[in-house]
Amino acid sequence: MKTFKQFLAEDMPILQDYGRAPGYDFSRKISSPRNIGKIGPYSVWHHEEHPEAGDAVSVHYKDKQIGVVPLAWAGTFQGKRLVQSVNPSFDRNHRGKKAKVKNLVPKVYAMIADKIGALESGDQQTHGSKSVWNRLSKMRPIRIRNIGASTSISHYTHTEHSKLKIEGEYFKDYSHSYKNAVAAAKKLKEKPSTRAREGLQKQLGYLKDKLYDGGIDRTQLRRMSQLQHFPHPRTFTKTTTKINAKQRYNPEKHDPVVYNETDGDVFTLVAMPRGKRKK
């Protein structure tokens, strides 16, 4: 009699082991996958309408499957069919520097963009996924897609604190906390008491949290013990970055925007087809 785990592995393989069951092979489940190309010694296959996973791309080395990129159809983007990668999984012996070719995963993503549809990232990325999209940006044109409403993101910097950078929504919190700290300092001056002193320290603690999150130099932050040590909101400089889906994604310029948890705005990256080469 099968155990419950055996039942899951056979009947629901796509849900196991971060996207696939141990030993799970798309080529055994689908009789007619379409070969979409080779990357060095690796062959890449497209499986359409898989019963458990929808579409998927599998990567093989010496007739053995070493990677799977499940795909979900997501409509269109700039006139191109759009697919999303869902929990891709690669054998640890074929990841990063262990792969037989450099940048294997980004090259698989690039092939998906060329042969299947524009490929969209998830709205939440791990450090590994960020690295893949960073390298992919050097291979294919990548656009920024804003699922939210705004077309720009603002942040605030300060001339006396070179490392400090506070995003727009968080700067509103800083300004509000600074205003409360001023009120608490005034109250302590007019009617000194333990309670008033604790109230001021509480507000200064809020200010420190905002500056810490903004990346301020830790040594400078430790020296801030009184209200006059904290930068006044009016002394900050505002910088606005516009987001245009037609501009090419530049990791150095756009990562602080794409990966910032901005209220009401969620950004994804879309890898576009390379297009026809000039003869």
pLDDT tens for each residue of 34-51: 899 999 999 999 988 655
Return the minimum-mean-pLDDT range out of 110-114, 192-196, 208-212, 273-277: 273-277
The string of pLDDT tens digits covering residues 209-219 is: 999 988 999 99
140 and 10 in one domain? yes
Q: Are residues 109 and 75 in the same domain?
A: yes
Together in a domain, 133 and 9: yes
- Total domains in the chain come to 2
Taking the alpha carbons of 22, 27, 29, 35 in that order, is the dihedral positive or negative?
Answer: positive
Query: Are residues 126 and 55 part of one domain?
Result: yes
Q: How far apart are CA 177 and CA 80, in angstroms?
A: 46
Tell me, what CATH number does 109's domain have?
A: 3.40.630
**255 falls within a domain:** no
Looking at the structure, do residues 11 and 141 belong to the same domain, yes or no? Answer: yes
The model's pLDDT over 84-106, given as tens digits with 9 standing for 90+, comes to 888 888 999 998 889 999 999 99
Name the domain boundary from 127, 146, 165: 146
Is residue 145 a contact partner of residue 120, using CB atoms and an 8 Å limit?
Answer: yes
Structural domain containing residue 61: 4-146
Write down the pLDDT at residue 74.
83
pTM of the model: 0.61
The 10s digit of each residue's pLDDT in 62-74 is 989 999 988 888 8
pLDDT tens by residue, 129-147: 888 999 999 898 888 877 6
Judge if 130 and 197 occupy the same domain: no
- Give the pLDDT mean for 221-245: 88
Query: What does the pLDDT read at residue 155?
Result: 83
pLDDT at site 75: 85
Query: If pLDDT is split at 50, 70 and 90, which confidence band does 177 have?
Result: very high
In a domain, 276, yes or no: no
Q: What is the DSSP string of 227-265?
A: GGGSPPGGG-EEEEEE--TTSPP-HHHHHHHHTS--TT-
Q: Which two tokens stand for residue 242?
A: 């516009």
Residue 208 shares a structural domain with residue 112: no
* Contact present, 83 and 71 (Cβ < 8 Å): yes
At residue 116, the 3 state secondary structure works out as: coil
Q: What is the Cα–Cα distance from 214 to 170, expressed in whole angstroms?
A: 9
